[in-house]
Amino acid sequence: MEQMNFLLEIISHTVPVVEMLLFGHCFYRLVRPFMSTKRGAFGGGMAYFLMMLTLYIVPFYLDYFAAHGISVLVSFFVMCRADRRNYGQKAFLAAVFFPLRWLTSAMAEILYDNLYSFAGRTDYMAAHEDLWLPLYVGVWLFYLSVEFLFMTAIVWSIRKTYIYKDLEISEKELFMVASPCIAGAVGCEIMQYYRSFYIMKAGSVTGPYEALSLLYSIVSVLTDIVVIVFYQRIRAKQEEELQNQLFAAQMESMMHHIQQVEGLYQDMRSIRHDMANHILTLEKLYAANERPEAEAYAADLKNALCVPGREIRSGNPVTDVILQEWKKEAERNEICFKCGFYFPAESKINAFDISIILNNALQNAVENTVHASDGKISVRSYSRKNAYMIEICNSCSKIISPDPRNGLPPTSKERAGGHGYGLVNIQKAARKYCGDIDIIQEDGEFKLFVMLML
C-alpha cells in the first residue's frame, strides 16, 4: 500500500512537469515563425516552462490561472529582449497563447474526468483492483496526449492562417484580435470554477453541464481562429490597396517623366522650325548683298544657339531631362541646386528605375526645402566596388521622426492614411537591384542614400 501511494505521489508530480514542458514546446512552435532568430523563440518557450516550474515548486499556493498568466508575461518580456522589434505582435502571441492554453486544458480535463469516472464504474475494474494504477497512468497519458494534440492543431492553424507575420500590428488591431481570446479565457475560468464547486459539493458534475463546458471551450477556440482569419483578410485587403496606391504613385511619376520628355521634344521641334526660317532669312540677306546685316544676324543666331538647352549632362538623356527640370523647379523656388550625378551606362540598371528614384527623391527634396531658409539641394552618384550609390541631400528645418511600421519618415501630403509613397517607391526600385535605402538627419540636412548593386 505504501509503495502504491509512493507511485501515485510520483505520478501526480511528474504529470504537471511534463505538461509544462509540452506547452513550453507548443509556445516555441507558435512564436518561431514570428521571431527573427530560433534562439529567441526557444528562449520564450523555455521561459514559460521554467516560470511555471518555479511557481509549481514554491511553497506558497498560487492559482494555476494566475501562474499561467505570469509565465506568459515573462515569456513576452524574454521575446522582446531577444527580438527588439514588432512588440505589438509579440503581445498578440502572448494574448493568444494564454486563453488557448487554458481552453485546451479545460477540454482535456473534462474528457479525462469522464473517462476515468466511466472506467471506474465498470464491473471489470471493480473485480480487478490491481489495475487501478495502470488505469490511473493510462488516463493521465490520455490527458497529456489530448492536450498536446489539441494545442498542436491550434498552433498549426494559427501559423497557417496568420500570413503577414512580418507586418507590424497596431494597438487597435491588437485590441481587436486579443479581446475575444481574453474573453474566452475568462469565461472558461468561470466555468471551471463552478465545475470545481459542484464536484466538491456534490461529488460529480451532471452530463449536460460537462457537455456545455466542452462545447464552450471548442467554440471559444474556433472563435479565436476565425478572428485571426478575418484579421488577416483585412490585412490582405490593406496590402492590396497599398499596392494599388503605390502603382498609382508610380504611374503619376511616369506621367511626369513623359511630360518632361514631351517638353524637350517640343523644344527640339520648335528649334528645328525656327532654324528653317533663320536659314531662309540669311539666304535672302546674302542674295541682296546685305553682308553686314547678314553677319550681324548670324552672330545673334550664334549667341542664341550657344545658350545650352541642356546644362546637365549625366550620360543618359532620360536622367538629363529629369535633373534639368528639377533644377529649374528648385531655382524657381530660390533653392540652390548642385548636381554631380552620372548614369552608370556600362551597367544593366534601367534608366526608368533611376527615373523613379530621381523623380520621387527630388520631388520630396524640393517640397521639403521650400519652407527652409537658405534652401539647398545636392544630388550626386558614385560607385564603390560593385555598388552604385545615389546621394540626395536637402535642407531640413526639423527632425522628421520615422514611422515605426516601415522605418520611413511620414509625409505631410494628404493621401490615404496620411502617408505618401515616394520613399516606398524608391525603396522598391532599389530592392529590385538587391539594394536598399538609408536616411540620415543631421546638421539641418536630410540625406537620402540609395544603393543599387551593379
Least confident among 206-220, 252-266, 272-286: 252-266
Over 60: is that where the pLDDT of 409 sits? yes
Contact indicator for 188, 220 with CB cutoff of 8 Å: yes
Instruction: Give tens-digit pLDDT for 413-430.
Output: 443 333 346 787 888 888
Q: What percent of the chain stands above pLDDT 70?
A: 81
Q: Looking at per-residue confidence, does 285 or 351 come out higher?
A: 351
235 vs 251: CA distance, rounded Å: 24
Please report, for residues 164, 332, 420, 432, the alpha-carbon distance to residue 360 in angstroms, rounded to integers and kept in the order given: 28, 18, 10, 16
76 vs 50: CA distance, rounded Å: 14
* Residue ranges of domains in the chain: 2-246, 253-306, 317-453
Over 80: is that where the pLDDT of 379 sits? yes
Distance of CA 8 to the CA centre of its chain: 50
Over 50: is that where the pLDDT of 112 sits? yes
- Give residues with Cβ within 8 angstroms of 240, minimum separation 6: none
Indicate the pLDDT class of residue 400, thresholds 50, 70 and 90: low
Task: For residue 228, give the nearest of 167, 183, 181, 186 by alpha carbon.
Answer: 181
CATH of domain 317-453: 3.30.565.10
Instruction: Give tens-digit pLDDT for 118-169.
Output: 777 776 766 766 677 777 788 888 888 888 998 999 899 888 888 878 777 8
Task: For residue 386, give the nearest of 346, 414, 356, 432 by alpha carbon.
Answer: 346
Instruction: Give tens-digit pLDDT for 281-305.
Output: 777 777 777 777 777 877 777 776 6
215 vs 198: CA distance, rounded Å: 18
* C-alpha neighbours within 13 Å on the C-beta side of residue 161: 18
173 vs 285: CA distance, rounded Å: 80
Instruction: Give tens-digit pLDDT for 316-329.
Output: 877 888 888 888 88
